[in-house]
Amino acid sequence: MLAKLVASKLQLEWSPMQIAGWLKQRSGGHEEQQVSHETIYRSLFIQARGALKKELLVHLRRTRAMRRSRHHTQKTDNHGQLTDMVSIRERPAEVDDRAVPGHWEGDLLMGSHHSQIATLVERRTRYVMLVKVTGKDTQTVIDALIKHAHKLPRELYKSLTWDRGKEMADHQRFTLATDIQVYFCDPQHPWQRGSNENTNGLLRQY
């Protein structure tokens, strides 16, 4: 059964794109034995029963060794003036009440050996995605976020909430490239991204 094959690969921590590529290769051209990565993402978000059940989401979390011992200082130093921000207070009601999937919270974590990773958490499902970035400057971060956004079905990526880190200074380019609205927390209020902050806390344990 196709769903069981997908579930087994998720348990091995394969990404939806890896699974889709593997199925295509092994199908011998038979479309009924294939499934797109977008369909897998939709199933993870929407399907509440069956082989792709909710607890499989935990297998997609990367147990990457991330440290944040100096994170507060680094983020403070990395803050600056952002222009044309849309406040978190202007988010639609469906974002605040977690009524539908597709609204994300994000942050930039600093790791060992001067590495960085963007953490993205979907507000309704608490689904976690990690985006590797090669630098903390705004061009590098935005480029990585744009590339990653294009991997998801549009209906599952409608908005992004971030704090006021300088890495998002080029947020308008992200919105223009993806049609995804970015909302910003109030100054010194990172807890307004509660789902993301909780996830970052878990990642710091590894």
DSSP letters, 86-126, are -BGGGS-HHHHTT-SS-EEEEEEEE-GGG-EEEEEEETTT-
Mind listing the pLDDT tens digit for each residue in 114-156? Answer: 788 999 999 888 888 999 999 999 999 999 999 999 999 989 9
| pTM of the entire predicted model | 0.58
- H or E element at residue 165: none
d(CA 63, CA 75): 23
Give the model's pLDDT for residue 142.
95
Class of domain 71-203 as given by CATH: alpha beta
Burial of 138 (0-12, 13-18, 19+ CB in 10 A): buried
The first and second tokens of residue 31, run together, are 């479309």
Q: Does residue 105 contact residue 127 with C-beta atoms inside 8 Å?
A: no
Q: What is the domain partition of the chain in residue ranges? A: 2-60, 71-203
The first and second tokens of residue 117, run together, are 């990773």
What value does the mean pLDDT of the chain take? 76
Mind listing the pLDDT tens digit for each residue in 151-178? Answer: 999 899 999 999 888 999 999 999 999 9
Name the band, by pLDDT with cuts 50, 70 and 90, for residue 96.
confident
d(CA 130, CA 29): 32
d(CA 167, CA 137): 5
The first and second tokens of residue 29, run together, are 């051209």
Mind listing the pLDDT tens digit for each residue in 6-60? Answer: 888 877 777 777 888 899 888 888 888 898 877 877 776 655 444 444 445 555 5
Name the residue type at position 112: S
